[in-house]
Structure 1
Amino acid sequence: MPPTLDDKLVIAISSRALFDFEAENEVFEAGDDRAYMALQQQRLDTPATPGVAFSLVRKLLGFNTPELQRVEVVVLSRNDPISGMRVFRSAHHLGLPILRGVFTRGQSPWRYLRPLNAQLFLSTNEDDVRQALGAGVAAARVFPQSARASADHPQELRIAFDGDAVLFSDEAELVYQRQGLDAFQAHEQQHVLRPLPDGPFKPVLRALHELQRHPQTEMRVRTALVTARSAPAHERAIRTLMDWEIEVDEAMFLGGLPKGAFLREFEPDFFFDDQVGHVQSAVPHVPSGHVSAGVTNR
């Protein structure tokens, strides 16, 4: 029987999100493709250092056992195949059992998400992220300048999500953007018993919930909803999660307060938000990514 990824949580990630290739990227951005390839070839035996999403990937792979592979991480990169050699060598050096990769040498790789059956795509390229979201795959643009994840929770994968346009659709956010806060609060009270439509990251939260419900290793999951909502609009968000039969461990209803300080205390391995301002608030404290979905990104 041929191998399949259908029964796994598949994470596709660009090489620059996984490793710190910022120095090399300066050569690439200068438009000298050959010089970039030559530099990566010169550094084949020099392992890259961990990037923003490294902790997230390492902990996700920690849910696997020799008998049961529940998570698959695939490198999906605009890099060339020679640079891909360094990516695989770096992964091996740092103890990441990554076996699959697709390298497209400057072309957008998002179209390979479908045959990979990927549920999440992390990249530093905004266009690739938007294409992935348009194809129905949860995706986020990784901010390379983000703080690295805390080392204080080695056996606990911590992920923080914004609500509207991330876990939930942008239905309520659309009301807020067009009519203001009072109309938003009234809308949410009026529809409090009607679950919010699904957002792009609902499948990711559900997959994490399943990892938590059926532990096979010492790794555990801790999730947080970190939202600008406040009472009384908080109730619809919680009721929606209840309707989905998905639990989160922490919920922060901040009423528009900057999220960075709260995320610093939660110490996630990654934080996802659809608004650049919230991501910029988080970047000095935690690994962060922008979900370019919903009304605020049109």
Structure 2
Amino acid sequence: MPASLSGQLVVAISSRALFDFEAENEVFEAEDDHAYMALQQQRLDEPALPGVAFSLVKKLLAFNNGGPGSGQRVEVVVLSRNDPISGMRVFRSAAHYGLGIERGVFTRGAAPWRYLRPLSAQLFLSTNEADVRSALAAGVAAARVMPLSRQASAEHPGELRIAFDGDAVLFSDEAEQVYQRDGLAAFREHESERARQPLPAGPFKPVLEALQRLQHEPGMRIRTALVTARSAPAHERAIRTLMDWRIEVDEAMFLGGLAKGEFLREFEPDFFFDDQAGHVESAAAHVPAGQVAAGIAAG
């Protein structure tokens, strides 16, 4: 029988999100893919440095080390516009760091997101905005990784920490549309009137659900945070929505428009997901961050 990834959290990630290929990418931008391939081949025996999403991936894969009988909980697949030769370096770098990554798809410039469905991927991380938008349109949670984000803190080696924005990420952008169209007062009134009515799900609800399931598995603790521009009284609908979904988060920050970066610096997530470019830029100065290019405010 063919292998199956059923029952696992499947994360697809581009090589540039996992490893620091910024110097190589500069060669690609300045010259062409042949020069890039030649440089990667020249560096085959040189492990790439960790990239922005490295800590997230390393900790997710730790759930597969829960001891006898724990089974495979997380599958990480490299899904990349890189060429197969560069893919060799990706696999060698992963082996160097002890990352249990065995599967990869390398398309040499062609759009790789179309392989998300046969992989049954629930999350896609890439530095390519077009691929991220296509993945989201296909119903897969996806984020554009900011390759120059600050690396994750090393202060929590036994704990996976992930922070999420609310509207257009965990929740739909229904309320955000009201805010963009009618302003803050109308948004607050809209949310107060619907405080007991759960928000529709956003693209990252399945990811948060998968993390909640993993919390009961050995191998790594999980700490989650909701970091949102909402403030009272609009906070109540967000909390009640999570209650209705039977999903718990460990921390909730209702910042009322304050810059999120310094709060995230204190939380020290392995990754932060937000739909708005301004919030992602604020965060990326302090923590690994990615833009969920979905919803009315994503641009």
Per-residue deviation, residues 51-87 of structure 1 (Å, max 9, x unmatched): 0000000000001136410000000000000000000
Divergent runs of 4+, >6 A: none
User: Are 1:80 and 2:114 counterparts?
Assistant: no
Q: CA deviation at 1:31?
A: 4.5
Alignment of 1:171-182 (within 5 A): 171-182=174-185
1:111 paired residue number: 114
| Structure 1 Cα separation of the partners of residues 31 and 278 of structure 2 | 30
Out of 124, 129, 142, the position equivalent to 1:126 is 129
1:216 paired residue number: 218
| Structure 2 Cα separation of the partners of residues 205 and 73 of structure 1 | 17
2:32 paired residue number: 32
User: Are 1:241 and 2:245 counterparts?
Assistant: no
1:200 paired residue number: 203
Alignment of 1:1-298 (within 5 A): 1-65=1-65, 67=69, 68-212=71-215, 214-217=216-219, 219-298=220-299
SS across alignment from 1:27: helix
Count of matched residue positions in the alignment of Structure 1 and Structure 2: 296
Per-residue deviation, residues 146-183 of structure 1 (Å, max 9, x unmatched): 00000000000000000000000000000000000000
Q: What RMSD over aligned residues (CA atoms) do the two structures have, in Å? A: 0.8
TM-score (norm 1): 0.98
Percent identity, please: 78
TM-score (norm 2): 0.98
SS across alignment from 2:257: coil
Kept in 1: contact 2:277–2:298 (CA 8 A):
no
Q: CA deviation at 1:246?
A: 0.3
Which segments of 5 or more consecutive residues in structure 1 lack a partner in the other structure? Answer: none
SS across alignment from 2:64: coil
SS across alignment from 1:289: strand
SS across alignment from 2:20: coil
Q: What is the one-letter code of the residue matched to 1:45? A: D
Per-residue deviation, residues 228-282 of structure 1 (Å, max 9, x unmatched): 0000000000000000000000000000000000000000000000000000101
SS across alignment from 2:50: coil
